[in-house]
């Protein structure tokens, strides 16, 4: 990936020479990160474009300095000429950089304070080009590195949802957590199927929601999902009905949830299933019912270390197993399991029936405090 940073004057000259403006920028095939101070009114691009990211840093007034409070996590302690970047902007910037194709170019400019554009350029070189760099504004770089720790790094030769993370050291891989009433749970699932069958996300019927194809029939670059593999997305941050994508990172922006780290149960999520979740001694979010049809395989992957998974089998078979940290494990119905999904793991249904689980995310730090 090619990456270059500019000051305002250099960027304006570059755009004028190539006639790049709101009418032509999407035809360039390139990507742009524009860092503007809040007092600037002459931004190069005034319209929204898929290949342009605007970062309007909330600076102090022009030519003024300000003190920074020790207890403000969004600021660097000491005297600073700008906030530089907020946590939300760092995540937005990371997502933009992560979505740019490998063979593309990113051009970065900053209206004031070139150290910020240098920090973003060096982060891109480190994150996408494997060139160890650490220049520019330290606050900007630290925030981007913090996002990387949660979002993970793409792995060469794999689909972008297969990512590399640091493992959470919990001292275990899978544990039986608590028993569930399997008959009540199966009755709950039957009601879900009966009353909300049209909310089921069937993989083969919803390929249009993905930025890039999510299925790999060979299992070399991504998961071997069958066309009849299906999911019920039980949590969503609005009341819109119907199927919702189970995987957010690869979904097109218009199909993503506005995640606010709350439970957000949908209308379809009620009864015994929701009772189990609400009685957990920890925070949780993003609950799903996953229906792996015979032959479905999730290749070896990791999940981000800030949250791990709770799995509650509803229906399973002896040939549906996990391999986690090199060890095979079978989950039996009637129990809830807590899984350290930061450890490399894979799942395969080699039986002749569906493997159906209720599962969701819980905060790793909450689990650590329980000392399970």
d(C-alpha 302, C-alpha 296), whole Å: 18
Q: Provide the pLDDT for residue 130.
A: 82
HEC sequence for 232-254: EECECCCCCCCCCCCCCCCECHH
Reported for 235-241, long-range contacts at CB under 8 A and 24+ positions apart, including other chains, are 235/263, 235/264, 235/265, 235/266, 235/269, 235/285, 235/286, 235/287, 235/288, 235/360, 236/264, 236/266, 237/262, 237/264, 239/266, 239/267, 241/199, 241/267
The count of domains in the chain is 2
Do 57 and 106 reside in the same domain of the chain? yes
Better-predicted residue by pLDDT, 60 or 223: 223
Q: Provide the pLDDT for residue 218.
A: 95
Q: In this structure, are residues 363 and 306 in contact, taking their beta carbons and an 8 Å threshold?
A: yes
In a domain, 162, yes or no: no
Better-predicted residue by pLDDT, 17 or 35: 17
- Count the helices and strands in the chain (H runs, E runs): 7, 19
pLDDT of 32-58, one tens digit each?
998 876 545 567 788 889 999 988 775
Do 143 and 179 reside in the same domain of the chain? no
pLDDT of 50-81, one tens digit each?
999 988 775 444 444 344 444 444 444 333 44
In a domain, 156, yes or no: no
Q: In this structure, are residues 328 and 297 in contact, taking their beta carbons and an 8 Å threshold?
A: no
In a domain, 234, yes or no: yes
pLDDT of 274-310, one tens digit each?
999 999 999 999 999 999 999 999 999 999 999 999 9
In a domain, 26, yes or no: yes
Domain housing 230: 174-370
Mean pLDDT of 142-147: 90
CA distances from 77 to 60, 67, 371 (A): 15, 8, 34
Do 145 and 228 reside in the same domain of the chain? no
Question: What is the CATH classification number for the domain harbouring 179?
Answer: 2.60.120.10
Q: In this structure, are residues 308 and 344 in contact, taking their beta carbons and an 8 Å threshold?
A: no
């Amino acid at each position: 990936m090619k990456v270059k940073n500019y000051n305002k004057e250099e960027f304006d000259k570059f755009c004028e020479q190539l006639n790049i403006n709101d009418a032509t920028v999407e035809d360039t095939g390139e990507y742009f990160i524009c860092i503007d101070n809040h007092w600037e009114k002459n931004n190069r691009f005034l319209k929204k474009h898929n290949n342009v990211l605007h970062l309007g840093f909330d600076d102090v007034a022009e030519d003024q300095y300000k003190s920074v409070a020790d207890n403000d996590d969004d600021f660097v302690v000491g005297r600073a000429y700008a906030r530089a970047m907020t946590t939300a902007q760092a995540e937005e910037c990371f997502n933009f950089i992560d979505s740019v194709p490998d063979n593309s170019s990113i051009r970065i400019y900053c209206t004031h304070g070139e150290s910020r554009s240098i920090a973003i350029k060096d982060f891109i070189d480190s994150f996408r080009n494997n060139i160890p760099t650490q220049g520019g504004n330290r606050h900007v770089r630290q925030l981007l590195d913090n996002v990387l720790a949660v979002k993970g790094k793409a792995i060469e030769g794999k689909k972008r949802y297969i990512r590399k993370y640091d493992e959470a050291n919990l001292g275990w891989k899978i544990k039986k957590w608590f028993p569930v009433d399997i008959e009540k749970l199966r009755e709950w699932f039957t009601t879900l199927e009966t009353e909300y069958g049209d909310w089921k996300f069937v993989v083969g019927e919803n390929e249009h929601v993905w930025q890039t194809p999510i299925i790999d029939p060979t299992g070399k670059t991504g998961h071997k999902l069958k066309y009849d593999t299906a999911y019920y997305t039980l949590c969503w941050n609005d009341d819109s009905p119907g199927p919702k994508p189970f995987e957010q990172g690869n979904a097109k922006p218009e199909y993503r949830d506005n995640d606010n780290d709350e439970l957000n149960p949908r209308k379809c999520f009620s009864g015994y299933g929701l009772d189990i979740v609400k009685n957990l001694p920890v925070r949780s979010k993003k609950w799903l019912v996953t229906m792996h049809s015979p032959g479905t395989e999730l290749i070896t992957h990791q999940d981000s270390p800030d949250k791990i998974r709770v799995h509650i089998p509803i229906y399973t078979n002896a040939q549906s197993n996990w391999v986690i940290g090199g060890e095979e494990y079978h989950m039996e119905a009637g129990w809830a399991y807590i899984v350290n999904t930061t450890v490399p793991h894979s799942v395969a249904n080699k039986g002749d029936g569906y493997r159906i689980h209720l599962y969701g995310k819980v905060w790793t730090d909450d689990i650590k405090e329980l000392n399970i």
